Chains A and B, each alone.
Chain A
C-alpha cells in the first residue's frame, strides 16, 4: 500500500484547505468527513500519517484513534482542535498522539509534523521488516544452535556454554559460526542487537 496522509475533519472548508495545502506540497492525501469511512478504509497495512480533528460527529478524535489502534493501524497521529483545551491535548498525547495542533495553525508547523510523522512511520516499517527477517532466520536455526545462541545472548563464554550443554568447546565454536552465518550477523554483538529487536527475544534479558 502506498504512503498517504489520512485526514479527518467534519468541517468542509477546513478539510479542503488542509488538503489543498498538503497536496500543493506534494503529499498524497486521503480526506474523510466522518470517522467511520476512515475506519473502513484503513487497516494494518496502511502506511503514512493520521491527522485527526478532536471533535467529530459520532465519536471524538481520541475514540477514533483507539478504534484505529484496535485495528492495528499504528501510523503516527497528529491531532488538530479548534478548542485548544489542554486536557484534551494531554489525553491525546497520552494516547500516543505524535502532536497536537490548535486551529488556526502555521502551515510550516503542520507540514513539519506531517513530514516527521511520515518519517517515523517509514522507520517503523523498516525496523519492522528487519525484525521480520531476523525472525524468519531464527526459525532456520537448529535446536542446538538456538541453545548456543541463547547462551551467547546471556554473554556466556564458549566453555561455559560447552559445559552447560555438555559438549566440547570445539562444537560450540562450530554452532556459533553457524548462528552468525544463518542470521547474517557480522559479529556476535551485531547478532545480539538483531535478535533482541525481535518480539520473541525483546524481553529475554529482563
Chain B
C-alpha cells in the first residue's frame, strides 16, 4: 500500500536532484516532440500538450529549482519545433511560470500528491486545469497567433490541449512512488498495464470495423476501473496514461474509431472520452484509498479502545498482582538475609549455593509476573499470527489467577490436549479471555454463594473439525436475558465499577478475527460464553502438533 504522505503547506526542497532534473528534461522534451505532431490546422496550435502536466508535476515533486530545467527544456523543444528564438523564449517563460504558479498553489492547498483522497484529486484538477493549463494555454495562444481574431479560439484550444496534458499525464507523475509490492503483485501491475495498452491498441488500430470499434472503445472503462479498484492510485493513473498515449497517437495517425473528420475534430472528441476515463479511474482509485484508510482508522480505534480496556482490566487486577509479586520478593529477601547470616557466621561457600539458587529461581518468578503484565499492557501488534489458542488463553488465566486467589474463587482451566491453531492477534485474544473471565469472576463474587465460587475456561475443537471453541462458564447467577444482543453493546453494565466496554471490545476483537461470540446460560451453572474461531489445520500440521 502507498504510504500516506503527510500533508504539508510548503513545497519540499529536496536539494539538487540530478535525477529529478534529468528526468524532467527528458520526459518534457520527449512528450513535447511527440505532441507537436498533432497540431490543429488553423490556428496552428497543438491538440494535446502533456508537457504542461509534466512541468507542474516535476516542480511540485522536485522543488522550485526544476523551474530552470522546465524553462530550458521548453525553450529547446520550441526551438526544435522551428519557433523563432523570441517566441520560443516567451513560450518557455509561459510554460515555466504557469507550472511554478500551479506547484506553489498545490503546496499552499496542502496537496498530498498520492491522490488517495477525493480532495487531493479536486486540488490537482482545480489547480492543474483551472490555473496552470489556463495560463499556459493563454500564453501559448498569444505567442502562436498574436492579437488576431483567432485568439479566442486559439486560447480555448490551447487551454484544452494543456488541460488534457495535465489531466492525463500529471496524475501519474505526482503520484508515482516506490512500492514494496511482492513479486506477484508487480507482475499483476505490469500485466494489467500491458493488457490496457493491448486492448487500446486493438481497438484503435483499424483491425476492427469502426461500427464495432467505437462502442468497443468504452471497454477501456471497465479495465481502468478494475485497475483502480485493485491497485494504488498511481497504477490507475499509469493505465489512463498508457491508454491515452495509444489512443491519441492512433487517432492522430488517422486510425481507430475516432478517426473520421480529420485530426482536429477527431482528437477533440477523443479528449472527451479520455477526460471521462481519467475522472472515473482516478475518482475510483481515490475512493478505494479513502475506504482503506477508513478501515485502518477503524482498526486503530478498536486497537486504542482495546488497550484502554486492558489498562482498565489491569487496574482491577492490581491488588492480586501486587500480592503475587510481593511473595517472591519476600522469599528472595529472606534467602538473601539468611545467606548473609551464614556468611557472617563463617559458613563455607557450598552452604550458600542453595539459597543463592533459590534467589535466582524466585526472582525469575517475580519477573515472569512483571513480563506477563507488561505484555498485556503493550501497544500490541496489529498483525494476526498463527498461534495455538491455548497459549494466549493460558497467559490470560495466569494473569487472572492472583485475583482469583485473592477473592478465593476457583479458576478451572481445561485446555485442549492438542494444539488448536488459529490465526489471531494473540494479545487481542488474551484480552477477550481476560474480559470474559473478569466478568465471570465479578458475577460469582457478587453472588456470594460459597458452594459455587468457580469460573471455568475450556478450549476444544468443535465436532465439525473446522472451528475452535473457547468457553467461559461460571457458577454465578447467570444472565438475565441470555440472548439479548444489548449485552454486547458498549456502556451497558450491571457493575458499578465497570465501564460496560468489556463485552463490546471482546465481540469487536472476535469478529475482527472472523469468529463469533455467543452468550447463554448453562443449566446447573451460571452464564456461559462461547467463542468460535476458525481452526487453522495447516498451522497444526506444519508445526508438528501432536494429535
Contacts and interface: CB of A to CB of B under 8 A. Distances in A.
B328 interface: yes
Interface string A39-79: 00000000000000001010000000000000000000000
Nearest to A103: B330
A82 B329 CA distance: 10
A103 B328 contact: no
B330 A20 contact: no
Given A82-B323, A82-B326, A104-B329, A14 B342 contact: no
B326 A17 contact: no
A17 B334 contact: yes
A105 B338 contact: no
B323 A83 contact: yes
Contacts of B341: 21, 24-25, 107
A16 B327 CA distance: 12
Interface string B325-360: 011111111110110011000000000001100100
A154 interface: no
B362 interface: yes
B337 A107 contact: yes
A22 to B, nearest CB: 9
A166 interface: no
A112 interface: no
B412 to A, nearest CB: 15
A28 to B, nearest CB: 16
A13 B331 contact: yes
B458 interface: no
A18 B327 contact: no
A14 B328 CA distance: 7
B299 interface: no
Contacts of B516: none
A107 B333 CA distance: 9
Nearest to A108: B337
B518 interface: no
A11 interface: yes
A186 interface: no
Contacts of A103: 326-327, 329-330
Given A82-B330, A103-B330, A20 B323 contact: no
B365 interface: yes
Contact of A105 (B330, B342, B358, B406): B330
Contacts of A21: 334-335, 337-338, 341
A18 B342 CA distance: 14
A134 B252 CA distance: 134
B117 to A, nearest CB: 56
Nearest to A107: B337
B337 A106 contact: yes
Contact of A24 (B333, B342, B361): B342
Contacts of A107: 334, 337-338, 341
Contact of B358 (A16, A25, A82, A83): A16
Contacts of B342: 24
Contacts of B365: 13
A153 to B, nearest CB: 51
B327 A13 contact: yes
Given A103-B330, A105-B330, A17 B338 contact: yes
Interface in B471-513: none
B328 to A, nearest CB: 6
A197 B406 CA distance: 45
B330 A17 contact: yes
B453 to A, nearest CB: 12
Contact of A20 (B326, B333, B338, B361): B338
Given A82-B323, A83-B323, A14 B330 contact: yes
Interface in B297-329: 323, 326-329
Scoring B326, B329, B361 by chain A CB atoms within 10 A of each residue's CB, the highest score goes to B326
Contacts of A13: 327-328, 331, 358, 361-362, 365
Interface string A164-190: 000000000000000000000000000
Given A25-B341, A107-B338, A17 B323 contact: no
Interface string A102-129: 0111110000000000000000000000
B327 A14 contact: yes
Given A24-B338, A106-B337, A17 B329 contact: no
B3 to A, nearest CB: 50
Interface in A76-108: 82-83, 103-107
Given A83-B323, A107-B334, 15 more contacts: A11-B327, A13-B365, A14-B330, A17-B330, A17-B358, A20-B338, A20-B355, A21-B337, A103-B326, A103-B330, A104-B329, A104-B332, A105-B333, A106-B337, A107-B337
Query: Which 6 pairs, one residue from A and one from B, show the smallest C-beta to C-beta distance?
Result: A17-B334, A107-B337, A104-B330, A103-B330, A13-B331, A17-B331
18 contacts: A17-B330, A17-B331, A17-B335, A17-B338, A17-B362, A20-B334, A20-B335, A20-B354, A20-B358, A21-B337, A21-B341, A57-B408, A82-B326, A104-B326, A104-B332, A106-B337, A107-B334, A107-B337
Interface of A: 11, 13-14, 16-18, 20-21, 24-25, 55, 57, 82-83, 103-107
